[in-house]
Amino acid sequence: MKVLVIGNGGREHALCWKLAQSPRVTKIFAAPGNPGTALCAENVSIAPDDIAGLKAFAAARQIDLTIVGPEVPLTLGIVDEFEKAGLKIFGPSKRAAELEGSKIFCKGLLVRNDIPTARYKRFDDAGLAAFYLAEASPPFVIKADGLAAGKGVFICANGDEAHEAIDAIMNKMVFGGAGRRIIIEELLEGREASFLAITDGKSVIPLAPAEDHKRIYDNDTGPNTGGMGAYSPTPAVTPELEREIMQTIMIPAVRAMAAEGRPYKGVLYAGLMITPDGRPKVLEFNCRFGDPETQPILTRLDSDLFELLMAAAEGRLEDIRLSWNAKSSVCVVMASGGYPDNYEKGKAISGLDEAAELQDVVVFHAGTAMENGLVVTSGGRVLGVTALGDGIQDAINRAYEAVEKIYWDGVYYRTDIGRKAL
């Protein structure tokens, strides 16, 4: 079977790495991929939002299954386009991807279906939003409605910060049209978890729960990033809580989407807050695999990923059972100094081979490029160094042992990934 993976991050390297282990997969293409995917796939230089180009490639090469990494092609309707052309693809349709593409749609669906989430109000007028602030009491969580590359959420301690956030989103339009509408919601306290499930629109199969580390600095301080590291499993999600999440959030959401005429298939990724009373609430839904959560999750998956995703694309998940490695997995993201703000690119990376030689370690590439035969940095999040261990502490030790072998000028990483699990 020939597979096309769309995207060029650490998530896509992990997808290619895992798909390459399937006896049914004979050839993997990555569009556009990165130097890491080039180790297990053939990179083709088509951009993830070039839907016509991707469709033409998949048709010409008779791709058996296309797997979409990032959200943008999904919200642009790549799944609808491929299916119209008779091409098999794993991911939600354009109307189903609205679950991530519009926070207002997502909140409406949650509330209409009694799925637990923070209380909220929606606004399409900056003046009315400001008026509301005067009546309500802080803190405020302010979110742009549309896609903002993970930067559209502002946690505001007081009214001044909230006014600034509204001004930036709705008047200065720093996220363009994504900020025409906003929501203001209550701040939830607790512990976050990333809960991903695979669905064909009927059956819903949970993946192993994970925890991301969104802030740039140790002890969850500093600005938000795309994710500085992740681990799985997380003790925050016990087997009982997993059942509750499935019964009160994941299955109802998939049923609701079908009932509203937007059948959802693909990955449903719930960003959850486990509130102090132990109840899970939805912070957001994403319509794709998480990055970096996919790296520790897939290194623990014993089952064949191709079988799973093909079964989902063909609507036969009912027959699928997953098996998981009992080990723990920790992924430490190595980033360019300065990220998530400005950073330099083109720094030569040393130590990749030494790190990869360590047992149970995989170095996933994200923002890397090849320059004159050398692997150099080319993005904010550069590598996801992922290790399996007997328990979280062992996995942490192994991951950092590998991290310490890798160097470039300006390298930055958090030193506390996984510590919360201890």
Residues in the site for ligand GLY, rule: CB under 6 A? 150, 212, 227, 286, 290-291, 293
Is 289:69 a contact under the CB 8 Å cutoff? yes
Q: Which amino acid does the sequence have at 203?
A: S
- Rounded-to-integer distance, Cα 81 and Cα 70, Å: 16
Q: Supply the minimum distance, in Å, between the C-beta of residue 381 and ligand GLY.
A: 10
Site membership for ligand AMP, residue 165 (CB under 6 A): no
**Identity of the residue, 44 or 155, whose beta carbon is nearer to ligand GLY in the bound complex:** 155
Q: Supply the minimum distance, in Å, between the C-beta of residue 217 and ligand AMP.
A: 14
Is 290:210 a contact under the CB 8 Å cutoff? yes
Q: How far is CA 249 from the centre of its chain?
A: 18
Q: How far is CA 125 from the centre of its chain?
A: 30
- Between the alpha carbon of residue 373 and those of residues 369, 370, 376, 381, the distances in Å are 10, 6, 9, 21
**Identity of the residue, 181 or 213, whose beta carbon is nearer to ligand GLY in the bound complex:** 213
Phi and psi (nearest 5°) for 359? -70, 140
Q: Which does 76 bind (CB under 5 to 8 A by kind): ligand AMP, ligand GLY, none?
A: none
Burial class of residue 128 in the structure, from the number of CB atoms within 10 Å of its CB (0-12 exposed, 13-18 middle, 19+ buried): exposed
Site membership for ligand AMP, residue 214 (CB under 6 A): yes
Q: Which does 141 bind (CB under 5 to 8 A by kind): ligand AMP, ligand GLY, none?
A: ligand AMP
**Selected binder of ligand AMP within 42, 49, 284, 360 (CB under 6 A):** 284
Site membership for ligand AMP, residue 414 (CB under 6 A): no
Site membership for ligand AMP, residue 145 (CB under 6 A): no
Q: Which does 73 bind (CB under 5 to 8 A by kind): ligand AMP, ligand GLY, none?
A: none
**Identity of the residue, 213 or 405, whose beta carbon is nearer to ligand AMP in the bound complex:** 213
Site membership for ligand AMP, residue 153 (CB under 6 A): yes
Structure-token pair, residue 386:
């992922």
Structure-token pair, residue 45:
């230089």
Binding footprint of ligand AMP on the chain (CB under 6 A): 118, 141, 150, 153, 155, 185, 187-188, 192, 214, 224, 271, 283-284
